[in-house]
């Protein structure tokens, strides 16, 4: 972590919470938790409300689909921490039905439903080029996604275009798969609040 305040500048109570998390999960506290718990009234709490609604609010997209979008936006942003973290959540949410790493590697030909594929392709362009136009949106609608599904996907994209940037800016440590598995269990059980 590049800023010492994010690593160890928390209040006594928050440090005690970290000790509990570490003891219960037997894994190091992920840097993303340290970020959202630092002066949480500035970023962690208001951002948590946005992300909770985007990722767990009512939507025609499943939780697994939205976690896949989060991983895909993160991969497009070259954010290793967020790609691994949300690949683990998506994989757990899908179960054995889909191989998330294969999906992320080749969305254009992967065995997924057309509305989801078209949505991911649009999100990739938006994330990479910071722009999309009506033709891009018409392609997603023509593939069978509803306007509301597109709005819901853009909400996911917003959240992860924030979080991935901060993960890379602050230099989040990338732990081993066990820590991400532990985080995935937590995010599926408790969400982003």
Partner 1 sequence: MSDIKQARESLVRRILEGEGKASPSDRRAAFNNHGLDEPLGTLADKVATRAYSVSNEDIAAVRAASLSEDEIFEIAVCAAIGQATRQYEIALAALDACSTATRKE
Which parts of this chain interact with partner 1 (CB under 8 A)?
2-6, 9, 38-39, 41-43, 46-47, 49-50, 53-54, 57-60, 77-79, 122, 126-127, 130-134, 136-138, 141, 147-148, 150-152, 154-155, 157-159, 161-162, 164-171
CB 182 to partner 1: min, Å: 25
CB 134 to partner 1: min, Å: 5
| C-beta of 47 vs 179, nearer to partner 1 | 47
Cβ-based neighbours of 71, under 8 Å, separated by 6 or more: 82, 83, 86, 87, 89, 90, 100, 104
| C-beta of 132 vs 188, nearer to partner 1 | 132
CB 118 to partner 1: min, Å: 13
Pair of tokens at residue 161: 């275009």
| C-beta of 21 vs 139, nearer to partner 1 | 139
CB 170 to partner 1: min, Å: 7
| C-beta of 100 vs 153, nearer to partner 1 | 153
CB 142 to partner 1: min, Å: 10
The vertex-61 CA angle with 59 and 62, nearest 5°, equals 105
């Amino acid at each position: 972590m590049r800023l010492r305040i994010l690593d160890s500048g928390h209040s006594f109570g928050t440090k005690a919470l970290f000790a509990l998390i570490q003891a219960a999960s037997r894994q190091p506290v992920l840097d993303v938790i340290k970020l959202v718990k630092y002066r949480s009234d500035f970023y962690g709490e208001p951002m948590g409300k946005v992300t909770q609604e985007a990722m767990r609010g009512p939507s025609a997209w499943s939780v697994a689909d939205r976690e896949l979008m989060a991983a895909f936006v993160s991969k497009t942003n070259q954010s290793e921490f967020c790609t691994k973290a949300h690949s683990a959540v998506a994989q757990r949410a899908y179960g054995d039905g889909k191989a998330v790493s294969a999906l992320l590697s080749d969305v254009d030909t992967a065995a997924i439903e057309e509305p989801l594929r078209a949505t991911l392709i649009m999100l990739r362009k938006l994330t990479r080029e910071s722009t999309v136009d009506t033709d891009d949106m018409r392609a997603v609608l023509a593939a069978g996604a509803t306007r509301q599904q597109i709005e819901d996907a853009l909400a996911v994209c917003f959240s992860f275009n924030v979080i991935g940037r901060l993960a890379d800016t602050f230099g989040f440590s990338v732990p081993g798969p066990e820590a991400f598995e532990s985080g995935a269990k937590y995010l599926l059980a408790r969400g982003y609040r």
